Amino acid sequence: AEKIRFASSATYPPFESMSSENQIVGFDIDLAKALCQHLKADCTFTNNAFDSLIPALKFRRYDAVISGMDITPERSKQVAFTRPYYANSAIVIAAKDKYQTMAELKGKRIGMENGTTHQRYMQDKHPEVITVAYDSYQNAILDLKNGRLDGVFGDTAVVNEWLKENPQLGTVDKAVTDPQYFGVGLGIAVRPDNQALLSKLNGALDAITADGTLKKINDKWFAK
């Protein structure tokens, strides 16, 4: 069977995280496994820092990146993306009921993961905010809880997960979807010269969408 090596940054539930048994689990992982099953391929998963995913993909350490990654114009210059498999948006969280708007976060410390669309957007669009870069979202959330940060900016589905476990936190302002920064949804990235894998993944995505598998995986990880 064909072998497909996937990489992901497993600090981002429900998309990907490490289970108590030290396995990478999540929506993206179930999706990749369903694609592999359809393609009768053997798949492996590795955990890596988010900002190293694209460089190491180019370096051929693995074949594909699935990591809650927004399909942006900038990344599309370096990698080829499958069609979008999830519609995304981003939002800030902070102490509940403390801030209503972004303007109120002026001079406040907002954390985000290095190399993310959130980091770029915040630095460009909200220079009045102090952006603090983290190697992982896990560490940003820890600092928010410890009071070393005033807020964290992340994908809405992930933020909702953090809010479930942290009733002292709440959202600030509306979710952002600026396509220039956040692209057209989440996609799987491959090397541009690997059109064979790209078309296989796109074909498998169509198949698992048509037969209801993708919806099942969605319902499992994004329960309303």
Q: How far apart are CA 189 and CA 99, in angstroms?
A: 36
| Residue 30 interacts with ligand ARG (CB under 6 A): yes or no | no
Cβ distance 117 to 155 under 8 Å? no
**Both tokens assigned to 206:** 């169509």
Which listed residue (4, 6, 14, 15) binds ligand ARG by CB under 6 A?
15
Q: Mask 118-147, x = binds ligand ARG (CB under 6 A)? A: -------------------x----------
Task: Kindly state the smallest distance separating residue 158's Cβ from ligand ARG, in Å.
Answer: 8
Which listed residue (69, 129, 132, 197) binds ligand ARG by CB under 6 A?
69
Q: How far apart are CA 183 and CA 181, in angstroms?
A: 6
Which listed residue (12, 153, 162, 181) binds ligand ARG by CB under 6 A?
12
| Residue 68 interacts with ligand ARG (CB under 6 A): yes or no | yes
Q: How far apart are CA 170 and CA 97, in angstroms?
A: 7
Sign of the alpha-carbon dihedral angle for 31, 37, 39, 43? positive
| Residue 187 interacts with ligand ARG (CB under 6 A): yes or no | no
Q: Indicate the residue type of 151.
A: G
Which parts of 201-220 interact with ligand ARG (CB under 6 A)?
none
Q: How far apart are CA 15 and CA 67, in angstroms?
A: 7
| Residue 153 interacts with ligand ARG (CB under 6 A): yes or no | no
User: Phi and psi dihedrals of 115, rounded to 5?
Assistant: 85, 5
Task: Kindly state the smallest distance separating residue 75's Cβ from ligand ARG, in Å.
Answer: 8
Would you tell me which residues interact with ligand ARG (CB under 6 A)? 8-9, 11-12, 15-16, 50, 67-70, 113, 116-117, 137, 155
